[in-house]
Amino acid sequence: MAQPTIVPAVIYLDSRAALDFLRDAFGFELDMMIEDESGALVHSQMVLGNGRIMVGTEWSDDHKSPMSIGGKCTQAVHLHLEEDIGAHCERARAAGAKIIAEPKTQFYGDRTYRARDQEGHIWTFSQTVEVLTPEQWDRNAPGLKTWAREGYGQ
C-alpha cells in the first residue's frame, strides 16, 4: 500500500485495547507495531481500505486521550467506505461502539453514521449512495451555498 498523504494519529490510554477494538468494531487491520524492550506499545499503524491511521499512547501533555480531558474531542476521523453502512454500524454497535448518530442519508448523497469508541474518540463513516453535484446539494439543503473546485468529486 502506498503511503497516504494524510495519516491521522489517534491517542489512547490503552492503545493495545484500542487496536483490538478498532479491528473488531470498524474493520481496521494492524499494519505495523513498535514495542519497547519491556513490550510496551510505542507506536502502531492500522489500515482500512487505502487509508491508514496511527494508534499510540499518551506521550506528552499535548497528546491525550479524550478520557484524560473530560471526554472532549478536538478532532474526529471520517472514513469513506464501499461496504453497506448499515451493516458496518451494526458491527460497530455489537463490538461496543456507542452510536451517536444512526445511519442517515445526507443532502450530499452519502449515508453516514457516527460512533464513539471506548475512550471517547468520534468516528464518522460514510458510503456514497447517490452521486450528486454541489448544485444539487444546495437544492437539497435550502439556505446553504456550496463552492467546490472544478471537477470536485469526480
Q: What is the pLDDT of residue 64?
A: 92
Residue 113's alpha-carbon distances to 18, 37, 140, 143, in angstroms, are 20, 40, 19, 23
- 48 lies in the same domain as 83: no
Within-domain flag for 65:
no
C-alpha span between 108 and 117 (Å, rounded):
26
**pLDDT for position 73:** 86
Residue 152: what pLDDT?
Answer: 76
Give mean pLDDT, residues 121-148. Answer: 93
Residue 49 and residue 109 in one domain: no
In this structure, is residue 66 part of a structural domain? no
Average pLDDT, integer, range 85-95: 98
Within a domain: residue 149? no
Task: Name the residue range of residue 99's domain.
Answer: 76-144
Model confidence at 154, pLDDT cuts 50, 70, 90, reads: low
- The predicted structure's pLDDT at residue 24: 98
Give a yes or no: residue 121 inside a domain.
yes
Number of domains present in the structure of the chain = 2
Any domain includes 64 = no
Residue 79, classified by CB atoms within 10 Å of its CB into exposed (0-12), middle (13-18) or buried (19+), is: middle
Whether 82 and 140 share a structural domain: yes
Share of residues in the chain with pLDDT > 90 (%): 80
User: For residues 19 and 48, is the Cβ–Cβ distance under 8 A?
Assistant: no
Q: Indicate the burial class of 6 (C-beta count within 10 angstroms; 0-12, 13-18, 19 or more).
A: exposed
> Is 154 within a domain?
no
Q: Count Cβ atoms within 10 A of the Cβ of residue 3 and give its class: 0-12 exposed, 13-18 middle, 19 or more buried.
A: exposed
Sign of the dihedral through C-alpha 97, 127, 45, 53: negative
12-58: pLDDT as tens digits: 999 999 999 999 999 999 999 999 999 989 899 999 999 999 999 99
Query: Would you say residue 59 has pLDDT above 80?
Result: yes
Specify whether 49 is located in the same domain as 81.
no
User: Is 71 inside a domain boundary?
Assistant: no
Residue 104 lies in a domain: yes
Same domain, 49 and 14: yes
Residue with the three cell numbers 506499545: 41
Q: What is the CATH number of the domain that holds 52?
A: 3.10.180.10
Q: What are phi and psi of 138, to 5 degrees?
A: -60, -40
Do 44 and 4 lie in a common domain?
A: yes
Among residues 58, 87, 102, the one where a domain terminates is: 58
- 91 and 54 within one domain: no
pLDDT-based confidence at 2, cuts 50/70/90? confident
* Residue 41 · residue 57 · CB < 8 Å: yes
